[in-house]
Amino acid sequence: MTYLLALDQGTSSSRSIVFDEHGHIVALAQQELPQIYPKPGWVEHDLMEIWRTQLATAREVLAKANIKAGDIRALGITNQRETTALWNRKTGQPVHHAIVWQDRRAEATCAALREQGKESLIQSKTGLLIDAYFSGTKLKWLLDNVPGARAQAERGELAFGTIDSWLMWQLTGGALHATDVSNASRTMLFNVHTNQWDDELLELLGIPPSLMPKVLPSSAHYGDVRPELLGHAIAIGGVAGDQQSALFGQACFKAGMAKNTYGTGCFMLMHTGGQFQTSHNGLLTTSAAQATPQTQFAIEGSVFVGGAVVQWLRDGLHAIKGSAEVQALAESVPDSGGVMMVPAFTGLGAPYWKPDARGTITGLTRGTTVAHIARAALESIAYQSAALLQAMSRDAVSAGAAPVAELRVDGGACVNDLLMQFQADLLGIPVIRPAVIETTALGAAYLAGLSSSVYGSIDELSGMWRAERKFLPTLGADRAAELMARWEQAVRQTVLQ
């Protein structure tokens, strides 16, 4: 049997999964990752803790699978994307905590860029809108605010990377400073047409080019893991940001195919093939995972607070003891009783892009119970995702393509049948849950398998995809439109005056 190892470094945990050559999970190991909140709107991670937990789960999963590192054909990495790391090239030590993708501290820089009229320049080169979400402005903040960082960077002593780059640096003992096109495309510093760092954008943000990692296709031989870490050298053969990796793992290889990942946030991507398509509906254009040097693109929408709203019910309201309890609590009432929740805890992402929005709960009455709030919280995930798909379909039609015909789903919250059925009802199209919902890790394994000749082509991977359940819409189109209109009204009430 041939095995592939996927390292899945996410926002809330580090995980490692061993897959066999048929894409089946052999073993999984996971450790939670502590969240650091220094100030309102700021979110950080300890980079050494990311490395410690990721290495520990890699060792644990090999033991669970009862195999040795020498039995692994190749290793793939997938990661939280825009999270920004800066470290010393000589010592390998971070100069600061990682600034997490949810962090909003760089908003002032973004506002200045907008005032300078740089939106069209940045969108035309990167496919992105100006937002503190992306790595470039986070990196500028580190250089401007960590004592001595800018001087060290100017001397070539520091290295920047997203979490994939940080892990590869550690796995290879500093021999490899690299990233892939999908992660690079989320920095606001990368020209997605040429697949190169853009000198004009680097200069605009005051980023020394010496900080930047080498960029490779998502499926390539990056380097080898130091043998002393896992007991044997393993080829690093695939790297992709978590959402592009999930698109790949869902076998969405053709234009018009779409997936939604229900994790801490929700991330919907529609493949557009080799066509760079600018969104006119508040979405982003991003590089898809690329199995070859040929450019591939996707339209993407990001919901900042998806499954994290369930964590808030647990940790903030203490409405539930464990996340798994939310479905039973929500199903204890027939509907939300008119309650609408917009979980804009860190602003609203696509298609609204309202960084100043704050969470609201509307429609409360004397008869409202915690069950109604729980149901509204769960439904908020589906409402936000429906707004994304509607925007995506408008973009597709304006480009002369057909609207999205079905939505493939994955991520932890997609196991919630109530949520998936409500999602299908709002969208009016089938929502399909695959047999393997760990598609983020699976995509990384597939990319590694392609570069190491475990698989011969993406057509072979398409043939391996299997559905577990299909949720068909049961709600009339008029009722779905009425509910979405109520949601949009609730969104309008979230912006602070």
Q: Residue 346's pLDDT is what?
A: 79
- Residue 496 pLDDT grade (very low, low, confident, very high; cuts 50, 70, 90): low
List, in order, residues 6 or more apart from 299 with CB less than 8 Å away. Answer: 269, 270, 272, 277, 279, 283, 284, 285, 286, 392, 395, 396
How far apart, in Å, do the first and last CA atoms of the chain sit? Answer: 61
How far is 384 from 373, CA to CA, in rounded Å?
A: 16
Q: Residue 118's pLDDT is what?
A: 96
Report the mean per-residue pLDDT for the chain. Answer: 93
Q: Kindly report each contact of residues 196-205 with a partner whose C-beta sits within 8 Å and lies 24 or more positions away, as own/partner.
A: 198/125, 198/126, 200/121, 200/125, 201/122, 201/125, 201/126, 201/136, 204/113, 204/118, 205/109, 205/136, 205/137, 205/139, 205/140
Q: Residue 497's pLDDT is what?
A: 42
At position 96, the amino acid (one-letter code) is H
**What confidence tens digit (pLDDT) does each residue in 95-137 have?**
999 999 989 999 999 999 999 999 999 999 999 989 898 999 9
Residue 204: count of CB within 10 angstroms of its CB: 18
At position 78, the amino acid (one-letter code) is T
**What confidence tens digit (pLDDT) does each residue in 140-194 have?**
999 999 999 999 999 999 999 999 999 999 999 999 999 999 999 999 999 999 9
Radius of gyration over every alpha carbon of the chain, rounded to an integer in angstroms: 22
Q: Do 219 and 451 form a contact (C-beta atoms < 8 A)? A: yes
Structural domains of the chain ordered from first start: 3-243 (3.30.420.40)
**What confidence tens digit (pLDDT) does each residue in 43-60 have?**
999 999 999 999 999 999
**What confidence tens digit (pLDDT) does each residue in 82-99 have?**
999 999 999 999 999 999
Instruction: Render the burial of 118-132: b for 16+ CB within 10 Å, e for the rest.
Output: eeebbbebbbbbbbb
The mean-pLDDT minimum among 170-184, 240-254, 383-397 falls in 383-397
Task: Render 22-41 in DSSP notation, one character per residue.
Answer: TS-EEEEEEEE---B-SSTT
pLDDT at 278 over 50: yes
Task: Render 246-280 in DSSP notation, one character per residue.
Answer: HHHHTT--STT-EEEEESSSEEEEEEEET-----S
pLDDT: is 207 or 398 the higher one? 207
Helix (H, G, I), strand (E, B) or coil at 361: strand
What is the average pLDDT across 363-388?
A: 93
**What confidence tens digit (pLDDT) does each residue in 313-347 have?**
898 888 888 877 888 899 899 999 999 999 988 78
Q: Residue 398's pLDDT is what?
A: 82
Q: Burial of 277 by CB count in 10 Å (0-12 exposed, 13-18 middle, 19+ buried)?
A: buried
Q: In what order do the strands lie in the sheet with 431-434?
A: 284-287, 297-303, 266-273, 258-262, 407-410, 431-434, 467-471
Whose tokens are 């195919």? That residue is 257
Q: Residue 412's pLDDT is what?
A: 83
Q: Residue 426's pLDDT is what?
A: 95
Sign of CA dihedral 77, 81, 87, 93: negative
**What confidence tens digit (pLDDT) does each residue in 403-462 have?**
888 999 998 889 889 999 999 999 999 999 999 889 999 999 999 999 999 999 999 999
Which phi-psi region, left, alpha or beta, contains residue 44 (left: φ > 0; alpha: ψ -120 to 50)? beta
